[in-house]
Amino acid sequence: MKLTLKIWRQKNSNDKGGIQTYPIDNVSEHMSFLEMMDVLNEQLITQGTDPIAFDHDCREGICGMCSMYINGEAHGPDRGVTTCQLHMRKFKDGDTIYIEPFRAKGFPVIKDLVVDRTAFDRIQHAGGFVSVNTSGNTQDANAIPIPKDDADKAFDAATCIGCGACVASCKNASAMLFVSAKVSQFSLLPQGKVEAKRRVLNMVEQMDKEGFGNCTNTGACEVECPKGISLENIARMNREYLKASLASD
């Protein structure tokens, strides 16, 4: 395939940045999107041009690092996949593809397609954990009965990989799908009850501090989420938040 790539280039966080055009040919439909970007970068390096900076790590849809906005969609035109799992067979010979970074106030651009997502780490640090009694009397987690439905829902919430596509897809740059997944994976389980109140209050407070917007129920996040995290989690987080706000210490 022959393609025309229109890619966002930005030297650093202070640079204004802009779209530049790169023609590329001999793209195999079997390549992943990132492999196609690797080929382009090899060409740029050979020409003595600065290669395009983009994030990646596992290339298996696990780590949540790859974060491109492709033709106006987070992780591109496929559903239920990350950019690293997107294949070039989703495109046609002669296509023009626009590639931009995830855009949100909470995700400042570092360089080209790389954004700073440490805001998510800070939200996690604010409450995305459970305390464990390590005194020697710790109960085996497998010995605690948990209703199957709750275990399944907690597991589904725990599949969030923190990629940030929900934020990038949302017109308000809301991080509520991400935060609600992190709250839900614990709130559904007995192990998560101990810090339940602190967790939701602190994580929501940190989310607001980081400059993410509010949810207005457009549902774009759920559509673009590569892990199919459900909006049901946002409703659960809102209930948890209300309960925690009203509870007295």
Site residues (CB under 6 A) for ligand FES? Answer: 56-59, 61-66, 82-84
Structure tokens at 83: 């950019």
The owner of tokens 């496929």 is 78
Nearer to ligand FES, 61 or 128 (CB): 61
Q: Does 234 bind ligand SF4 (CB under 6 A)?
A: no
Q: Is 70 in the site for ligand SF4 (CB under 6 A)?
A: no
Q: Provide the terminal-to-terminal Cα distance of the chain, rounded to the nearest Å.
A: 63
The distance of closest approach from Cβ of residue 180 to ligand FES in the complex, given in angstroms and rounded to an integer, is: 20
Half-sphere exposure of 118 (CA within 13 A, CB side): 4
Q: Which of 104, 119, 165, 204 binds ligand SF4 (CB under 6 A)?
A: 165
The residue from 68, 84, 225, 234 that contacts ligand SF4 (CB under 6 A) is: 225
Residue 34 or 166 having the CB closest to ligand SF4: 166
By a kind-dependent CB cut-off of 5 to 8 A, residue 212 interacts, out of ligand SF4, ligand FES, none, with none
Closer of 23 and 80 to ligand SF4 (Cβ): 80
Exposed, middle or buried by CB within 10 Å (0-12, 13-18, 19+), for 242?
A: exposed
Q: Of 86 and 163, which CB lies nearer to ligand SF4 in the complex structure?
A: 163
Residue 92 CB: number of other CB atoms within 10 A?
A: 10
Among candidate residues 93, 89, 90, 99, the one with its CA nearest the CA of residue 3: 93
Interface with ligand SF4 (CB under 6 A), residue from 61, 101, 127, 164: 164
Q: Which of ligand SF4, ligand FES, none does residue 162 bind to, with CB < 5 to 8 Å depending on kind?
A: ligand SF4
How far is Cα 91 from Cα 2, in angstroms, rounded to an integer? Answer: 10
Query: Which of 111, 153, 199, 227 contacts ligand SF4 by CB under 6 A?
Result: 227
Burial of 147 (0-12, 13-18, 19+ CB in 10 A): exposed
Residues from 177 through 216 that contact ligand SF4 (CB under 6 A): 177-178, 181
| 18 bridge partner residues | 9
- Burial-class residue 168 by CB neighbours within 10 Å (0-12, 13-18, 19+): buried
Query: By the criterion CB under 6 A, which residues form the site for ligand SF4?
Result: 160-166, 177-178, 181, 225-227, 229
